[in-house]
Amino acid sequence: MKPRDDAPRANLFLDEMEVGDRFESKGMTLGEADIVGFAREWDPQPFHVDAEAARRSHFGGLIASGFQTMVVAFRLLYQTGFLVDANLGGPGIDELRWIKPVRPGDTLRASAVVTEIVPSRSKPDRGTLRLAVEARNQAGEVVMTATLVVVALRSRGAQPAY
């Protein structure tokens, strides 16, 4: 059932995944305008929106909002297409940690490794997936880690029992 070749594995269902499966995103570069634009709207702390205040801060210069790092990482993973039709949404995120600052010009990539697959006891068509997510910069340094919890359909033929 499970293709084990080198082709990108897309639009998977829970029964097609195994613990240890790994998904890698493309890269995305965050310019200063991207960082300041996001932060002005969503996280207007001085070290995210004001280059001069950021220089005087302990960060020594502008850094991206951690929320931006987070949404960029999860969007990059979503755009790999590994979970599309099976995806029923996520109950939450555990242990999100911002490890290193993300600065203007940094290119982020995200990876996700399946750490747990738990079939639902009450709804046999679905289960819960835990993914260890990492975002890295262009130097390969980990800038963020998190565990994403997702509910997904087990197989392509499943009719969600809403």
Site membership for a copy of itself, residue 94 (CB under 8 A): yes
Residue 35 sits at φ, ψ, to 5 deg, of -65, -50
Site membership for a copy of itself, residue 43 (CB under 8 A): yes
19, 114 contact by CB (below 8 A): yes
Site membership for a copy of itself, residue 66 (CB under 8 A): yes
Span of 16-24, 66-74, 107-115, 129-137 interacting with a copy of itself by CB under 8 A: 66-74
CB of residue 5 vs a copy of itself: minimum separation in angstroms?
28
Q: Which residues of 109-138 are buried (b: 16+ CB within 10 A; e: fewer)?
A: bbbbebeebeeeeebebbbbbbbbbbbbbe
**Cα–Cα dist 54/43, whole Å:** 14
Span of 10-18, 25-33, 63-71, 111-119 interacting with a copy of itself by CB under 8 A: 63-71
Site membership for a copy of itself, residue 157 (CB under 8 A): no
**Cα–Cα dist 145/60, whole Å:** 23
Site membership for a copy of itself, residue 125 (CB under 8 A): no
Site membership for a copy of itself, residue 50 (CB under 8 A): no
For residue 18, with 0-12 CB atoms within 10 Å meaning exposed, 13-18 middle and 19 or more buried, which class applies?
exposed
Instruction: Choose, by CB under 8 A, the member of 20, 89, 140, 157 that binds a copy of itself.
Output: 89
Span of 3-11, 70-78, 111-119, 131-139 interacting with a copy of itself by CB under 8 A: 70-78
Q: In what order do the strands lie in the sheet with 142-153?
A: 22-29, 107-119, 126-136, 142-153
Residues lying near a copy of itself in the complex (CB under 8 A) are found at: 42-45, 47, 58-59, 66-67, 70-71, 74-75, 78, 87-98, 160, 162
